[in-house]
Amino acid sequence: MKVAVLGATGAVGQTMLQVLAERLPEVEEVVPMGSPRSVGKTLEWRGREWRVTAPDPAAFRGCRVALFSAGSQLSREWAPVAAAAGAVVVDNSSAWRLDPDVPLVVPEVNGPRVADLRNGIIANPNCSTIQLVLPLEALRRAAGVEQVVVSTYQSVSGAGRKGTRSYESELAGGRDPDSPFPGEIVGNVIPRIGPLRDDGWTEEEEKMRAETRKILGLPALAVTATCVRVPVAVGHAVVAMTVLERPLSLGQARAAIAGMPGVVLWDEAADPLPREVAGGDDVHVGRLRSDPDHPNVCHMWIVADNLRKGAATNAVQIAALVIRG
């Protein structure tokens, strides 16, 4: 079986190739594609070297799945082409996430939506949204959800290779002129991610609101987010306050989250930390608390590797649903 990877030399694309090798033994051949500056490079995968090519309609033929992580512009241009060639596109950009004809999928939450293909494209959600909706869905199943208020603490790798290079340059005492951050990141936190809209919210914050609603199938759910960039290499953290439809004891909340596939609930005495969870595929929940004043409110701390479960692993899990049915 053959799978294409567009954006194969980027941070997420490289992780997609790694996770493909780990999780999908059915895939025997990859077609790595990239930008003009990447064309001609070779990548090692499963003991062989594969040459990076430019995207081309013919290159997608015979591919069961095409994993995209090359930005919205290229996704809008090439996803329909790949789909027309017979590949199911799993796109990691924001290009298709809110399209009503495109499923937005976190397999543990709404995996059956993979079958709702109308144009051959499935969207992979935003990294912070993925790690939020897993425990949130567990609580929704147990007691319903009326509102969620989140603050995110997102690592520099969420800004791609430019973010990682800028962080490393600052650690070495320099300053990268191509930094994607509006200020220095080392020893600092930046309380905005992405462009600021006219209403004061950022695009990243609106993504979390709209995508959470779509994934959970709750179009009127009240969701607000404050997204912050922090000087961490890999791993995003989310603090979530959830207002439930009915009271839920702490024990009931713990049981609900512990029973959710893809989620690891930590003991009250320990805290999941980005450095500790990096390299793994689970979403980790700690500091689960019942609100002292409101019996239908709970609070939690959620940590995950943004390159793996927040991007590449979730995409490969979607590909597995497509391939295995």
**290 and 161, same structural domain?**
yes
**175 and 27, same structural domain?**
no
- Residue 19's domain is classified under what CATH number? 3.40.50.720
Residue 224 has pLDDT above 90, yes or no: yes
Q: How far apart are CA 66 and CA 96, in angstroms?
A: 15
Average pLDDT over residues 23-50: 94
Q: How far apart are CA 166 and CA 155, in angstroms?
A: 12
Categorize the per-residue pLDDT at 318 as very low, low, confident or very high, splitting at 50, 70 and 90: very high
Residue 325 has pLDDT above 90, yes or no: no
Q: What is the pLDDT of residues 49-91, one digit of tens each?
A: 999 999 999 999 999 999 999 999 999 999 999 999 999 999 9
**85 and 178, same structural domain?**
no
Percent of the chain scored above 70 by pLDDT? 100
Average pLDDT over residues 19-46: 95
**282 and 191, same structural domain?**
yes
Q: How far apart are CA 136 and CA 149, in angstroms?
A: 11
What is the set of active-site residues? 127, 236
**246 and 170, same structural domain?**
yes
The reported pLDDT for the residue numbered 268 is 87
Count how many domains the chain has.
2
Residue 94 has pLDDT above 90, yes or no: yes
Q: What is the pLDDT of residues 159-193, one digit of tens each?
A: 999 999 999 999 999 999 999 999 999 999 999 99
Categorize the per-residue pLDDT at 119 as very low, low, confident or very high, splitting at 50, 70 and 90: very high
**162 and 23, same structural domain?**
no
Quickly list H helices, 152-227: 160-171, 203-216
- Residue 244's domain is classified under what CATH number? 3.30.360.10
**28 and 119, same structural domain?**
yes
Q: How far apart are CA 59 and CA 146, in angstroms?
A: 46
Q: How far apart are CA 284 and CA 304, in angstroms?
A: 6
**136 and 239, same structural domain?**
yes
Domain that holds residue 105: 2-125+311-324
Residue 256 CB coordination number (10 Å)? 22
Q: Which residue has the higher pLDDT, 108 or 161?
A: 108
Q: What is the pLDDT of residues 232-243, one digit of tens each?
A: 999 999 999 999
Residues with Cβ within 8 Å of residue 42, at least 6 apart in sequence: 49, 50, 51, 52
- In angstroms, the Cα distances linking 38 to 66, 162, 176, 202, 307 are 18, 15, 21, 31, 20
**248 and 215, same structural domain?**
yes
Q: Which residue has the higher pLDDT, 152 or 325?
A: 152
Mean pLDDT of the chain: 96
Structure pTM?
A: 0.95
Average pLDDT over residues 204-219: 97
**182 and 220, same structural domain?**
yes
**121 and 24, same structural domain?**
yes
The reported pLDDT for the residue numbered 116 is 92
State which amino acid sits at residue 6.
L
**165 and 68, same structural domain?**
no
The reported pLDDT for the residue numbered 273 is 97
